[in-house]
Structure 1
Amino acid sequence: MIDVEDSIVITRPIGEVFDFVADQTNAPRWQDGLLAVRRITDGPPAVGTKHVVVRTFLGRRLELTNEYVHYEPNKKITFTGASGPSSFDVSYLTDTTADGTRVTCQMRMEQKGLFKLGDPLVAANLKRAFAANLHNLKDLLETGAD
């Protein structure tokens, strides 16, 4: 089992940060390796919202579908998905701080079979990616520049 978590404070109001992160179609603007995200359900983000995601990870192109299983405005989003031998849960939590909004990203991934042998490499790569992506998000939301 792989567990990764990181957080950052963004000097923007919680509603603005949450709404931006909750709309996964924004994610290619701040997540390295994310090539495309397309919402495949109608309406605004909510429990049951599904996306098709295309990304590269460790040199492989992955296409997967995820689904929101928890959606609490200005608090928490959780989505689940699977790709090949891996399944995952990702949560974004937001809370107000004296300096703006803290965004915490948590991921739990389970790989099956021989892929479990790669857990240390995958975990290290995810930790680096989380830190870089959260800094990208901060820069994007605080400066407005892609």
Structure 2
Amino acid sequence: MKVVEYSVIINKPVNEVFSFIEDLRNRSKWEHGVIAVEVLSGKYEERGAVIQITNQVLGKKMETIAEVVEYEENKRVVCRAEKPFMHEIANIYEDMNGKTKFTRRATANVDSHSSLTKFTSALLVKKIESVFQKTVQNAKVEVEKAT
């Protein structure tokens, strides 16, 4: 399992940061490559909900189906997907005296994907690291601008 994690301090209270980031209509504003998010079943705010995330990667659309495995308002949201390889994305929110520490963590089993070599797997992890860093910084900019 590979873990990639980035944090940023956002100059807004945790409830405002959580509301903005977890509003799926805002996802394409702050998450790199996302062009659409749709709830396929359940309610996003409830464990077991299924969402579809559409990304634009190198000019091609890629859809990921993910299940909400944890949703604790103003604390954390965790979604799990099985394709293209098993991975979890966690958004973690910590109150910092009126500011918010926002952490985005990816846990991925990239080595389990049969078509990936170790070299390709290492390149993929580097790409994920780069995208995560940009995404977390972009979340800060967008939240502070919007609220």
TM-score of the two chains, using structure 1 as the length reference = 0.88
Alignment length, in residue pairs? 144
- Tell me the residue number matched to 1:65: 65
- Tell me the residue number matched to 1:88: 87
Amino acid at match of 2:4: V
- Displacement of 1:23 in angstroms is 2.6
Distance in 1 (alpha carbons) for counterparts of 2:45 and 2:143: 19
Structure 2 gaps of 5+ residues are: none
1:44-96 CA distance string (max 9 Å, x none): 52212221111134665321211110111111111101223x11111111001
Distance in 1 (alpha carbons) for counterparts of 2:52 and 2:107: 19
- Tell me the residue number matched to 2:79: 79
Amino acid at match of 2:106: M
Residue identity (%): 23
Alignment counterpart, residue 120 of structure 1, candidates 122, 126, 134: 122
The 5 Å alignment of 1:42-61 reads: 42-43=42-43, 45-57=45-57, 60-61=60-61
Amino acid at match of 2:131: A
Tell me the secondary structure at the aligned position of residue 113 of structure 1. coil
Tell me the secondary structure at the aligned position of residue 19 of structure 1. helix
Distance in 1 (alpha carbons) for counterparts of 2:56 and 2:125: 15
Tell me the secondary structure at the aligned position of residue 109 of structure 2. strand
Distance in 2 (alpha carbons) for counterparts of 1:127 and 1:48: 27
- Displacement of 1:34 in angstroms is 1.0
Larger deviation, residues 7-16 vs 35-44: 35-44
Tell me the secondary structure at the aligned position of residue 54 of structure 1. strand
Residue pair 1:2, 1:119 contacting (<8 A) in 2 also: no
- Tell me the residue number matched to 1:20: 20
Amino acid at match of 1:115: L
TM-score of the two chains, using structure 2 as the length reference = 0.87
- Displacement of 1:104 in angstroms is 0.5
- Tell me the residue number matched to 1:35: 35
Distance in 1 (alpha carbons) for counterparts of 2:126 and 2:78: 22
Cα RMSD, aligned residues only: 1.9
Residue pair 1:89, 1:107 contacting (<8 A) in 2 also: yes
Amino acid at match of 1:70: E
- Displacement of 1:136 in angstroms is 1.1
